[in-house]
Amino acid sequence: MDSNLLGYSLELVAGSGCTLNVEKRTALETSLVILKKNYKFQRVLFWGKILGLKEDYFVAQGRGEDEMEDKKNLYSFNCIDWFLLPPATDALIDLVSRVTKGRFIGDPSHVYEQLEIHRQGEGEGAVEEEVVTTVNEENRLAVTVHLIDEDVSVVPRGAFIKNRRGLVQMNRSFGGLSHSEVAKLDSFLHFSKPKNLKKKSILEMGELNPALDFLDVLSDDIPKGSWSLQFECGSKVCVLRSLLWLGLTFYHVPMTPLHGYVYIGDGNKNLDLPFML
C-alpha cells in the first residue's frame, strides 16, 4: 500500500485482524519519506510485516521508473532504520527453499543449517560426505518477500499500463473498477511477470488490450478457489485474501483509483491448500 495513504489503507484491510498501532504508523510516515529521498525512489510502498518468534520484520518496497522491474525491498524492526535486502537470485531461492523451514526467528543473522549426505561411488567403496549448507535469515526474508510478490501481488485491471517504451507505469486515468467488475476475479491481475499469457488462444487474446492486459489474470490460478473475495467495511471496499499465502490482503475501493495490498503473516506458504478447500 502506498505510504502516503497508510492510515486509511490500513483501516480498509483491518478486517483480517492485523493493523499497526499509532506509534508504528507515525514512525513509518516519517521514515518512508526519508527513505524515498535517500534511495531516489519514485514511490515507496509499505509492503507488510513478517511475524517472527522474537521480532517482527517490517518490509517496505521502493519503486523506480518501471513499477515492475525497478523494485527494491527493505526491512526494519523499529520502522525507522531500514536495511536493504539482497536481490533474490534463482540460486538463492533454490538454496532457501531447501534449507529453511518453520517460522521466522526475528534475527537477520540467524543461520539455518541443513545437513546433507552425499554419496560417492557405489557398493562398499561408497564415500559418505556430509555437506552442511547454510543460509541466514536475511536471505530467507529477501526470498520470501520476492516469492510473495511473484505469487500473489495483485492490481486491478487498468491500474497499470505498459507504455511504448515497454515500461510499466501507473495509469493516471484509472478511475477504478465498476461495482459489477469488482465482483469478478477476472478484473484482477498478478503484478508479476506473466506466465500464462502466452498460452492463451488467439480467440481469447483478441479481446485483450495489449496496453492493459499484459499480466496474468487471477481467475486462471490453480487451484481454483485460492482467492477469497469479499466486501467489507459496510460493503464499501472489495477485499481479496490469498489462501495460498495466508496474510496477504488486497483492497480496492470500487470507482476510485484506491488500491493496494499488504502482507501480514508468518512468511510460510500454505502448502496444505488442496486439502483445505
Partner 1 sequence: MEGNQDSSSHLRLQSAASLKASMLKNSTKSNLNIYDHLTRLLIKMIDEQPQNAVDVVEDMSLDIKRSLFEDKETTLRDLPETTASELLAEQQRLLFSQPEEAEQEDEQVETPLPNVSEIGFYLEQAGVGLGREEMQRVFLALKQLVESQALLRCRLWGKILGTESSYIVAEAECREWEEEEEQITDEAAEEEEREDKTSESEDNEVDPLPQSTYKTPPVVPKEAAGTGANKFFYYVCKEPGLPWVKLPSVSPAQITVARQIRKFFTGRLDSPVHSYPPFPGNEANYLRAQIARVSAGTQVSPQGFFHAGEEEGDEEDEAPQDSYEVNSDFEAIPVAEMAESLSTWVHHVQHILPQGRCTWVNLAIEPVEDSNEDGESEEKEEEPDEPEPEVGPPLLTPLSQDGEIFNTPPWSSKMSSTLTYQHAVAVLCSNSWPGAYVYACGKKFENMYVGWGLKYAGEGYSPSVPQPPQREYPSEPEITEALDPSLEEEQALREALEEQQAAQEELEDADEDEDEYAD
Of the candidates 102, 95, 90, the one whose C-alpha atom is nearest the C-alpha of residue 51 is 102
Contact status: 173 vs partner 1 (CB under 8 A): yes
**Residues in region 50-89 near partner 1 by CB under 8 A:** 51, 53-54, 78
Which residues 97-126 are close enough to bind partner 1 by CB under 8 A? Answer: 101-103
- Residues of 152-162 as b/e, b for ≥16 C-beta within 10 angstroms? bbbbbbbbbbb
For residues 170 and 200, which CB has a smaller minimum distance to partner 1 in the complex?
170
Q: Residue 75 phi/psi, 5° resolution?
A: -130, 160
Q: Please name the helix (run of DSSP H) or strand (run of DSSP E) that holds residue 256, with its range, or none.
A: none
Name the residue nearer to partner 1 (CB basis): 212 or 233.
233
**Binding of residue 18 to partner 1 (CB under 8 A):** yes
Chosen residue from 127, 131, 132, 271 binding partner 1 by CB under 8 A: 271
Considering the rule CB under 8 A, would residue 39 count as an interface residue with partner 1? no
What's the min distance (Å) between Cβ of 57 and partner 1? Answer: 13
231 binds partner 1 (CB under 8 A): yes
173 contact partners, CB below 8 Å, separation of at least 6: none
> With contacts defined by CB under 8 A, how many residues of the chain interact with partner 1?
40
Distance of closest approach, residue 37 Cβ to partner 1, in angstroms: 23
Cα separation, 164 vs 214, whole angstroms? 13
CB of 74 within 8 A of CB of 58? no
**Cell 510473495 -> residue:** 148
Considering the rule CB under 8 A, would residue 276 count as an interface residue with partner 1? yes
Q: How far apart are CA 72 and CA 107, in angstroms?
A: 21
Q: Which residues bind partner 1 (CB under 8 A)?
A: 11-12, 14-24, 51, 53-54, 78, 101-103, 173, 179, 225, 228, 230-236, 241, 243, 246, 266, 271-272, 275-277
